Amino acid sequence: MTNSQDILRRFADKKIACLVLAGTALVLGLAGCGPTFDPASLIKTTRVLGARVVAGEPSESPTRASPMPGESATVTWLVESPAGAPPLGWAFALCAPAASSTSLDCSGAPFAVFQGTENPPRMNVTAPDAVALGAAQNLLLYGRVCVDSAPIFDPTSGLPSCSEGKPGTTATATILVGGPTTANHNPTAERGFTFDGAPWPATAPGDDPCAVDAGVPRVSAGTEKHTLGIATAGADRETYTILYGDPPVETTKRESLQISQFATAGELKSAYTFVEGSDETAADPVGEARWDAPKAKDLTGATPVQFTFVVHDGRGGTDWTSRTACAVP
């Protein structure tokens, strides 16, 4: 075991005040600890935006986000940057969360630790068996993602940082453990998009979105109130049963969707779009977001703007997709 892995195990037993929760209690958007940041929806630095869990066979449709006890799952982290994919270093620990529903502490030593330099960070985790899990219904996966550096952990406090003072993000994800009557599937982000009412297709890898024939929206600098249409499907809002009330009784609920939206330029009027579980106005509701194009002074020429949409179902299911526009002076 390397020294950083040993320290990471100690890190699991410490209170980490700056951790943020992805895909469950904290609605999307991971940030590092430190001074004032750009708006949550603006990608100006390398950011960790979410984690997606795929249990069992990747060919399952829809994919499951809840591994059974003893089953393996792949966890992929979404890392976005305004200027290509930078070199990364990362380390994570998998553990049972503390008994308090508001705590991000581990209840004991980690089940496993993971290190790597792959971008995006990706790791294969195995849910502990029922005996090791005990009463735990979720797993906590957390650690540090560093840009062009390696994660380091204070041996006394367990607090994470990055070598050479480089930037990084402390990130966590909660993984629901499935059971005979408990399962959760990932929603599907790629349901279709429109830009100001016109179809908005994805850009093929390697294509120049600012080429005249690129087929993506071409918007003038300083224009405002562009409407982004985000299609969803009713099937992505699964029903599930919880104990609710006093005395508690089995109650059927339906998931809501939270769509976190990000852009590399301009201004999104809201960081989130919501589709409530109780929304029965349409079988497949369409969400809307508003975006203002960047000002001419912020452009040096025709500039690609990447939009990233991360869909969460509130129980650990996550998916994401992207679109591109071209802003011109």
Q: How confident is the model over 116-136, as pLDDT tens digits?
A: 999 999 999 999 998 988 888
As a whole number of angstroms, the distance between CA 200 and CA 203 comes to: 9
Could you say which of 176, 211, 233 is where a domain stops? 176
Amino acid identity, residue 298?
A: D
- Kindly state whether residues 215 and 155 are assigned to the same domain: no
What is the per-residue pLDDT for 279? 86
Structural domain including 308 reads: 193-328
pTM of the model: 0.86
- Let me know whether 159 and 58 are in one domain: yes
- At residue 157, the pLDDT reads 67
* Low pLDDT (below 50) residues in the chain: 1, 13-37
pLDDT computed for residue 84 by the predictor: 80
Judge if 162 and 42 occupy the same domain: yes
- Measured at the CA of 46, the angle between CA 210 and CA 64, to 5 degrees, comes to 95
Instruction: Classify residue 262: in a domain, yes or no.
Output: yes
How many Cβ atoms are within 10 Å of 247's Cβ, its own excluded? Answer: 5
Q: Are 129 and 29 found together in one domain?
A: yes
Please tell me whether residues 143 and 32 are part of one structural domain: yes
Quote the pLDDT of residue 257. Answer: 97
Q: What is the DSSP letter of 15?
A: -
Residue 282 confidence (pLDDT): 86
**Are the CB atoms for 293 and 223 separated by under 8 Å?**
yes
Of 305, 303, 309, 304, nearest to 322 by C-alpha is 309
Residues 148 and 216 in one domain: no
Q: Is residue 188 part of a domain?
A: no
| pLDDT computed for residue 313 by the predictor | 96
Number of domains making up the chain:
2
Q: What is the DSSP letter of 190?
A: -
Burial class (CB in 10 A: 0-12, 13-18, 19+), 188: middle
Shared domain for 16 and 102, answered yes or no, is: yes
Residue 218 maps to which CATH number? 2.60.40.10
What's residue 16's pLDDT? 38
Does some domain include residue 203? yes
For residue 184, being part of any structural domain is answered with no
Residue at 316 is within a domain = yes
Residue 181 lies in a domain: no
Q: Is residue 185 part of a domain?
A: no
Q: Are 8 and 109 in a shared domain?
A: yes
Greatest pairwise CA separation for the chain in angstroms: 64
Do 316 and 202 lie in a common domain?
A: yes
Q: Are 52 and 104 within one domain?
A: yes
DSSP state of 296: G
**Which of the listed residues 146, 176, 206 is the one where a domain comes to its end?**
176
The verdict on 30 and 141 lying in the same domain is yes
Tens-digit pLDDT profile for residues 169-227: 999 999 999 987 788 999 999 999 999 999 999 998 888 999 988 889 999 999 999 99
- Picking from 176, 210, 241, the residue at the C-terminal end of a domain is 176
Task: Say whether both 201 and 253 belong to one domain.
Answer: yes
Residue 182 lies in a domain: no
